[in-house]
Amino acid sequence: MLVLASASPRRSELLTQAGFAFRVHPANIPEDPAPGEDPIAYVTRLARQKAEAVFQQLSPDHPEIAVLGADTTVTLDDLILGKPDSPADAARMLRLLSGRTHRVITGVSLITHSRTLAAAEVTAVQFHSIADAEIEAYILTGEPLDKAGAYAIQGRAACWIPRIHGCYFNVVGLPIALVRNLLDTLPPRAGLELHHPEQAPTTPDQPPSQSTSQ
């Protein structure tokens, strides 16, 4: 049984789109970075802690369980931009990102009874300059308020992003190819059904409207 330790609808949608069979069991852990913590270390730690919390709850009753944890953040230079805590905080983040290239980092962790795996994906995202009026209108939609870096590449913020370099799905919230690579390292298990029988276990093609050259 594959379990996603996340309440993110975007991660569930991506796993479903890729043909994975899974259950959702969110983890509730503090998401503050430790002092001086590197962004990659930060997201991989949170991904592991989320997976560990759910694994401890469910594993006694499910010997074949595999728990997937993930956490995504946006970084600009050495600054970590998580989810905004207010509309004003969202506006601050978007002004910082305006006209610059930043990194989106997702840490992924997979835990079973026999192993704990962790990895991270990094994507560079370029932003056009954004007028204050555009930022204010975007915040009024509510879209940026639960997103790392205060934007959704698959939403209205798409018009500000001329190009990315790396995995598009990572920016949405889950690097599907990386997840599949981790799952492929697991030995065959009688009780671990990873794919819907009616769907091929393939990673979706990247949307043609997004360029990955930089």
As a whole-number percent, the residues of the chain with pLDDT over 70 amount to: 88
pLDDT of 175 higher than 60: yes
- 86: number of Cβ within 10 Å: 10
pLDDT of 33 higher than 80: yes
* Per-residue model confidence as pLDDT tens digits over 96-136: 999 999 999 999 999 999 899 999 999 999 999 999 999 99
pLDDT of 209 higher than 60: no
pLDDT of 211 higher than 50: no
As a whole-number percent, the residues of the chain with pLDDT over 90 amount to: 79
- Structure tokens of 195? 């794919």
CA distance 128 to 110: 36
- Structure tokens of 18? 């890729």
CA distance 164 to 214: 7
**Region for residue 213 given its phi and psi (left: phi exceeds 0; alpha: psi -120 to 50; beta: otherwise):** beta
Of 42, 157, 121, 136, nearest in space to 91 by CA? 136
pLDDT of 201 higher than 50: no
Say which of 61, 71, 85, 184 is annotated catalytic.
71
Domain ranges of the chain: 2-184
Q: What pLDDT was estimated at residue 147? A: 93
16-45: average pLDDT: 93
Write the class of the CATH domain 2-184: alpha beta
* Per-residue model confidence as pLDDT tens digits over 34-61: 988 999 999 999 999 999 999 999 999 9
CA distance 106 to 145: 18
Active-site residue, 61 included: no
Residue whose token pair is 């991506």: 14
CA distance 100 to 125: 8
7-32: average pLDDT: 93
- 70: number of Cβ within 10 Å: 27
* Per-residue model confidence as pLDDT tens digits over 127-165: 999 999 999 999 999 999 999 999 999 999 999 999 999
Q: What pLDDT was estimated at residue 63? A: 86
SS (H, E, C) 121-189: EEEEEECCCCCHHHHHHHHHCCHHHHCHHHCCCCCHHHHHCCEEECCHHHHHCCCHHHHHHHHHCCCCC
Residue 188 vs residue 67, higher pLDDT: 67
Q: What pLDDT was estimated at residue 1? A: 87
Classify 36 as helix, strand or coil: coil
